[in-house]
Amino acid sequence: MVDIARGPTDLVPPAEVEDAELYHPKSWITKYVFSQDAKVIAIQYSLTAMAIGLVALVLSWLMRLQLGFPGYFSFISPESYYQFITMHGMIMVIYLLTALFLGGFGNYLIPLMIGARDMVFPYVNMLSYWVYLLAVLVLVASFFAPGGPTGAGWTLYPPQAILSGTPGSGWGIVLMLSSLILFIIGFTMGGLNYVVTVLQGRTRGMTLMRMPLTIWGIFTATVMALLAFPALFVGAVMLLFDRLLGTSFFMPAIVEMGQFLERDGGSPILFQHLFWFFGHPEVYIVALPAFGIVSDLISTHARRNIFGYRMMVWAIVAIGALSFIVWAHHMYVSGMNPYFGFFFATTTLIIAVPTAIKVYNWILTLWRGDIHLTVPMLFALGFVVTFVNGGLTGLFLGNAVVDVPLSDTMFVVAHFHMVMGVAPILVILGAIYHWYPKITGRMLNDALGKFHFWVTFLGAYAIFFPMHYLGLMGVPRRYFELGETISLQESHSLNAFITVVALLVGFAQMVFLFNLGWSLFRGREAGSNPWRATTLEWQTPDTPPRHGNWGKELPVVYRWAYDYSVPGAEQDFLPQNQPSPVRSG
Amino acid sequence: MYIALILVLIAAGSVLFHFLSPWWWTPIASNWRYIDDTIVVTFWITGIVFTAVVLFMAYCIFRYRHRPGRQAVYEPESKRLEWWLTIVTAVGVVAMLAPGLVVWNQFVTVPDDAAEFEVVGQQWQWTFRLPGEDGRLGASDIRNVTFENPLGLNPDDPNGRDDIVVIADDLHLPVGRPVKVLLRSVDVLHDFYVPEFRAKMDMIPGTVTYFWFTPTRTGRFEILCFELCGSGHPYMRGGVVVEPESDFQAWLGQQRTFAELSLPNDGEIVGAAD
């Protein structure tokens, strides 16, 4: 039986990994640029992801300007509009969210939270970042290529993606596919590292069922990504061949603008299956780290053990497994065999059960807690609201027949932004407020943080909640302008409102970036454990932790990660490496 | 502290918005009222869950906010509570899934008496084909596509000679008769959608896809392309006129057949449909 609370652990001799076994940097370049320290790599990943994320933010402003005030901005053409939405979507999903959660938080937190000195393959870890950076640069290059970036929509559906009616079908799509291929190569190097480190690198006493849920979330998401990304890899390579070599993997016989193309026998639907075999797990690749992190934020700041830890772990694993057999719920009206709908609607709605359990347990952790409304906690609470909202609208779209009128409307856009845009980003922001003191040694400014939270949370809700109703009206997604259609005329006022709020929320992110820079020098000194948290990363001898993390001896773990407010204990938290034998009360 | 109040306002505001806002679906014009009903059932179940969860959160935040001397309750898990919540959730999911699957079964089961017609998409226009007097659509192949024969009908198939081809004009349908829509594309993905009909399906080059519905209300409705098909996507519009059987037959009589359209040196310019 697993010990979920304080089981007896024999004292073991600590630390057999010698500090000297790590490759220590000898120059500024190997310390900060070609670094093999997971913490430096984490910061490199995070800064790169945030920089390219800023590009995606600006693109979202441009597309919102067009949607809110069609006709006012002569520099936005249909072609450029489709390029904006395509690049916004791809950057946010792959190059920001995936990279930041796994490359950023994964690298920083895995070794520290499991009590390791570093990742097990530091050199491969370094390569992973540099290949990722190359992928980002290739992606950025497409903005400057002849014809601009691809405007095929982030789903890149052929035949349209590689035919001349779509902007960027020359250079743009080639650079996009090349960049994705590079990203997957880079991710695979990092991902294998995270999985092996969690399985092999845990310190004495850190059993799997004592790991913080953050690590469970990142670990499961990484396993999923290693299994899901190959489908995208295959799809990208075959589409690249169709584009460059004239093959017909996805191309049937086609008459394009009166011209016969020399293609035959391919299947456009095959690409959709490959894309969504990756694409649906991808939703959970982003969501599971967020689930894990938010569990730890809520537990720490409510001073209460996470409620139902074992159920939480099994829910993460169950969601990860189920998410591989639901992909075709993105394809109910794609023209695939309609009888698939019965199977995929059923599996999709079953996922709601483990997901709901997670939500209940977050709230039951608040119940009878001692809730400190710190900035990380505010973001965690904001996450629960937006995630519940976005998760529930998934029950509309997952139910095949309800999806028929709603698919490809703004309802879908509102749903996935709420559930895999706003919700995970609120967790990322909360996590940055939470761990910034460990990374830099200083606290982020509280007043700016609260301003940032309120504008972001309320603004994002005001953007995406009403947007569902546009979809219900029948407003299509991916429309440059709605034209004269009578039934859609009432949407204009709401679209203008959404645009104004979107610009405000974007502005609040600038305040956040200012806070990140300003607090680096002027922030209050944090000390080693400002939140009085139990997990190992707060128990390092130095803050910020040095290369090797633990000084001479590795920590030994005696308890699970959630010993908050233990009856009879002197403090309201017991760090995982504290051996004091407390009688259970 | 404020956050508890604001969460209450979010829950209340969302419910009020749902009932009071002017943004709602367009009046239905087909038999798929069951789809609308399933959406309403789903709104009720999810709305109740959302309101309950957010209000309970607000209560917890208010009741258990930090004050000097408060200590959280140490309780790692409660099997009973967790099982109860799991079972209640499963019941709610079944309540949404079951009607959904029943209606999906209707959606994928085309009635035997459904009349067939064809919609063909190309960048960026709609073309329609209805069977002629023989009641059958002739064979088609994309390799037959020419300027005069944009649908690629097989000129040697006698079934196709009397097919009615409607280019760059509204489609007409009789009210109250089930129709099976056969969907084709000659270039990229498109999607045939009339919001009032509630039903849609993608069109894929190289494949014939389909769905069925029964128009229940007369009037002219707009067709929108609902699958991104390139830079002209938002302008790919068309119209469907639903009218009584007699008007429909009169309209049908004025249309030209494939055989008439393919006569050489015909005065009308067939391909100028852009």
Residue type, B7: L
For residue A403, the 8-state DSSP code is H
Q: What are the tokens at B175? A: 């009210």
SS3 B213: strand
B187·A333 Cβ contact <8 A: no
Among A486, A405, A477, which Cα is nearest to B220's? A486
Residues paired with residue B237 on neighbouring β-strands, in sequence order: B224
Alpha-carbon distance A154 to A97, whole Å? Answer: 15
- Is B134 in the same domain as B161? yes
Alpha-carbon distance A473 to A487, whole Å? Answer: 8
Contacts of B189 in chain A (CB under 8 A): 157, 159-160, 268
SS3 A523: coil
Contacts of A487 in chain B (CB under 8 A): 26, 195-196, 222
- Is B122 in the same domain as B256? yes
Q: Is A266 exposed, middle or buried (0-12, 13-18, 19+ CB in 10 A)?
A: buried
**From edge to edge, which strands make up the β-sheet containing B179-185?**
B164-167, B125-130, B115-122, B179-185, B209-213
pLDDT at A470: 95
With the C-alpha atoms ordered A289, A290, A295, A298, is the resulting torsion angle positive or negative?
A: positive
Count residue pairs from A and B with Cβ separation < 8 A: 320
A268·B206 Cβ contact <8 A: yes
B82·A361 Cβ contact <8 A: yes
- The H or E element containing residue A446 is helix A446-473
Alpha carbon of B134: minimum distance to chain A alpha carbons (Å):
28
pLDDT at A189: 96
Closest by Cβ to A472, choosing from B25, B100, B187:
B25
Low-confidence stretches of chain A (pLDDT beneath 50)? 1-3, 5-6, 8-15, 584-585
pLDDT at B64: 95
Does B266 reside within a domain? no
Alpha carbon of B241: minimum distance to chain A alpha carbons (Å):
15
Interface test with A, best of B105, B187, B196 (most A CBs within 10 A): B187
pLDDT at A14: 47
The size of chain B, in residues, is 274
Does B72 reside within a domain? no
- The H or E element containing residue A284 is helix A268-301
By DSSP bridging, strand A259-260 and strand A255-256 are: antiparallel
Q: What are the tokens at B221? A: 């409705």
B233·A367 Cβ contact <8 A: no
Alpha-carbon distance B220 to B239, whole Å? Answer: 7
Range of the domain at B27: 2-65+78-108
Nearest CA in chain A to B65: A371
Contacts of A308 in chain B (CB under 8 A): 76-78, 82
- Is B57 in the same domain as B167? no
Q: How many domains does chain B have?
A: 2
Among A316, A323, A322, which Cα is nearest to A296's? A316
- Is B102 in the same domain as B208? no
- Is B218 in the same domain as B184? yes
Using a CB–CB cutoff of 8 Å, tell me whether B69 touches chain A: no
Q: Name the residue with tokens 């009641």.
A: B135
Contacts of A151 in chain B (CB under 8 A): 231
- Is B86 in the same domain as B10? yes
Interface test with B, best of A162, A255, A336, A375 (most B CBs within 10 A): A255
Q: How far is CA A115 from CA A12, A198, B120, in A?
A: 15, 10, 62
A254·B76 Cβ contact <8 A: no
Does B156 reside within a domain? yes
Low-confidence stretches of chain B (pLDDT beneath 50)? 265-274
Closest by Cβ to A490, choosing from B23, B77, B200:
B23
B24·A473 Cβ contact <8 A: yes
Alpha-carbon distance B172 to B170, whole Å? Answer: 6
CATH number for position B223: 2.60.40.420
- Is B236 in the same domain as B213? yes
B231·A341 Cβ contact <8 A: no
Interface test with A, best of B74, B85, B208 (most A CBs within 10 A): B74
Using a CB–CB cutoff of 8 Å, tell me whether B23 touches chain A: yes
Does B222 reside within a domain? yes
Among A214, A420, A215, which Cα is nearest to A297's? A214
Among B164, B127, B161, which Cα is nearest to B248's? B164
DSSP A179-241: HHHHHHHHHHHHHHHHHHHHHH-PPTT--GGGS-HHHHHHHHHHHHHHHHHHHHHHHHHHHHH
Enumerate residues 248 to 267 of chain B having a beta carbon within 8 A of any beta carbon in chain A: none
Using a CB–CB cutoff of 8 Å, tell me whether B214 touches chain A: no
SS3 A551: coil
Q: How much helix, strand and coil, in percent to the nearest 5, is found in chain A? A: 65, 0, 35
Q: Which residues of A226-240 are buried (b: 16+ CB within 10 A; e: fewer)?
A: bebbebbbbbbebbb
Q: Is A50 exposed, middle or buried (0-12, 13-18, 19+ CB in 10 A)?
A: buried
Alpha carbon of B135: minimum distance to chain A alpha carbons (Å):
25
Pick the CATH number of A34-252+266-539 from 3.40.190.10, 1.20.210.10, 3.40.50.720, 3.65.10.10: 1.20.210.10
Does B71 reside within a domain? no
- Is B83 in the same domain as B132? no
Closest by Cβ to B23, choosing from A346, A458, A470:
A470
Using a CB–CB cutoff of 8 Å, tell me whether B81 touches chain A: yes
- Is B93 in the same domain as B135? no
Strands (E), A352-462: none
Does B268 reside within a domain? no
- Is B58 in the same domain as B181? no
B101·A346 Cβ contact <8 A: yes
Alpha-carbon distance A202 to A115, whole Å? Answer: 6
Taking chain A, what is the end-to-end CA distance rounded to the nearest angstrom? Answer: 20
Closest by Cβ to B57, choosing from A333, A363, A562:
A363
SS3 A280: helix
- Is B92 in the same domain as B48? yes
- Is B191 in the same domain as B145? yes
Nearest CA in chain A to B194: A474
Alpha carbon of B52: minimum distance to chain A alpha carbons (Å):
11
Nearest CA in chain A to B85: A357
pLDDT at A192: 96
Using a CB–CB cutoff of 8 Å, tell me whether B19 touches chain A: no
A370·B101 Cβ contact <8 A: no
Taking chain B, what is the end-to-end CA distance rounded to the nearest angstrom? Answer: 61
pLDDT at B69: 87
Q: Which residues of B137-166 are buried (b: 16+ CB within 10 A; e: fewer)?
A: bbebebebbeeebbbbbbeebebbbbbbbb
Alpha-carbon distance A346 to B198, whole Å? Answer: 22
Residue type, A431: A
Enumerate residues 110 to 139 of chain B having a beta carbon within 8 A of any beta carbon in chain A: 122-124
Query: Tell me, what's the ipTM?
Result: 0.93
The size of chain A, in residues, is 585
**Ranges of each domain in chain A:** 34-252+266-539
Interface test with B, best of A355, A404, A565 (most B CBs within 10 A): A404
Closest by Cβ to A479, choosing from B189, B199, B234:
B234
Alpha-carbon distance A291 to A309, whole Å? Answer: 12
Query: Are B238 and B126 within 8 A, CB to CB?
Result: yes
Closest by Cβ to A353, choosing from B71, B93, B204:
B93
Closest by Cβ to B100, choosing from A368, A401, A407:
A401
